[in-house]
Amino acid sequence: MKRAQALQELLEIFGPRGVLWEDHHLLLYEYDATIDKGRPDFVVLPTSTEQVVAAVRIANRYGLPIVVRGAGTGLSGGAVADQGGLMIVTTRMRRILEIDPVNLRAVVQPGVVNIAVSQAAAAHSLYFAPDPSSQKACTIGGNIAENSGGPHCLAYGVTTNHVLGLEVVLPDGEVIEVGGAAYDWPGYDLTGLIVGSEGTLGIVTKAVLRLMPAPEAVVTLLAVFDTVDQASETVSAIIADGTIPGAIEMMDHTAIQAVESAKRCGYPMDAGAVLLIDVEGLPEGLEDLARHIARICEHFDAREVRIATDPAERERLWSGRKGAFGAMGRLAPSYLVQDGVVPRDQLPRVLRQIQEIGRRYGLTIANVFHAGDGNLHPLILFDERDPELTRRAVEAGAEIIRACVEAGGTLTGEHGIGLEKRDLMPLLFSPADLEAMARIKAAFNPENRLNPCKMFPSTRMCLETWSRRKARMEKPIRYRITPAPTEAEEELWI
């Protein structure tokens, strides 16, 4: 009866096109871009803060855990409803509420796609700097939850550096505003606390974003090397020279093979590694700076340094990097991507360790990553249909993260902890560290209703509590299918 009552209340708020409860619909929301799965009991698609508040209060009445999801491009299992419950999907909250060119800000709902902010601001020669590789699909709410990065965050910082204020629905349904349009705000930095909290402290329903002037000119270089070590040493040398490019991305031989086969963007198929480098700024002197970087590359035995001659060539070179993850489908049916960070001078050693880990586990590992800030993205290739290969891929991924931490690095640079790395947190944090963070979480989320069992090491109590609550809900029920929407309704609900 509880399930039927909860569904009835959700239908009263969201209507039949705003609630999903049947298995064939819920199946589409049981995973993100990781290999973890968990099916929610209900999915709701709000269009306003008020509807989010209503959904939270219904979940509270029926003891349902709450998971918030954007576009589902997450890479750590953060939007997987592994404890069931109510999933709040924010993709219909997709309005850009304001572009303010005078104060260099934008106000948006969480379902706005990342690249759409820059497209809306382009008329004022402005843009939103954080640019995840999935920026044509991922949403601002998810970027805020995971503190996403991207290739150009080397020069401009990750999401937290570009969020000025937030409207947030707390786990009890109260709405608060933290931060604001000004560049400084008194009191605790709650905005900074919520960015990167992976949906465990509150639900973002509006964000005030910092916009930046678009660079007047951009020059892109492709440097080709015979070995990964040569490319890695070049990265350290460029930064040590005092030059901070907009981006420095690296791909190894395995990644180049997949990307070039899929994209035909001009990477030499026999290269051991390539660096993709952007330098940005005023037109005057920019080509001289590009040539200076090219000389550094040549000093470290780059066999070729190519400078893009026009925007079309720039776009072609970058299309390979932006489409690299998808290109891995040419090499294996599945991949598991890791997200460790190491000091730049440790890149050659850790990359050698990654290849050794791959050999020991009998797995091919391709490397495509943000070399400038040491943020590694080893792609472990396997077949998810094979349980033994899946086990080995997961174990290899954990070993890679341990290698990153032992090298003086960390567990994640932009993908988050989620389900995937929660039990690796003790590698980096002491029990006292974890207890301090748990106290903060308890202050916002005392019943552990928002995104339970994420970010922090799993406990028997956490898993058993939510299993008992889920068991109290009845089996799926059926409602009459409503007529197909009209064209006008389709535009409203897409």
In the chain (494 residues long), the average pLDDT of successive 10-residue segments reads: 90 97 95 94 98 98 97 96 97 98 97 98 98 95 96 94 98 96 88 97 98 95 97 94 93 96 92 96 92 96 93 92 91 94 94 97 96 95 96 97 97 95 96 96 96 86 50 46 41 34
CATH number of 217-326: 3.30.70.3450
Q: How far apart are alpha carbons 239 and 244 in whole angstroms?
A: 6
**Comma-separated ranges of CATH 3.30.43.10 domains in the chain:** 2-91+440-493
Query: Beta strand pairing status for 86-89 and 66-69?
Result: parallel
- CA dihedral angle for residue 494, residue 326, residue 143, residue 430, rounded to 10 degrees: 140
Looking at domain 96-213, which CATH architecture does it have?
2-Layer Sandwich (3.30)
We find that the CATH architecture of domain 2-91+440-493 is 2-Layer Sandwich (3.30)
End-to-end alpha carbon distance in the chain = 31
User: What is the reported pLDDT for 107?
Assistant: 98
Thinking of the domain 332-423, which architecture would CATH place it in? Answer: 2-Layer Sandwich (3.30)
Q: What is the pTM of this model?
A: 0.91
User: In the chain, which residues fall in CATH 3.30.70.3450?
Assistant: 217-326
pLDDT the model gives residue 181: 85
Residues of the chain with CATH 3.30.70.2740: 332-423
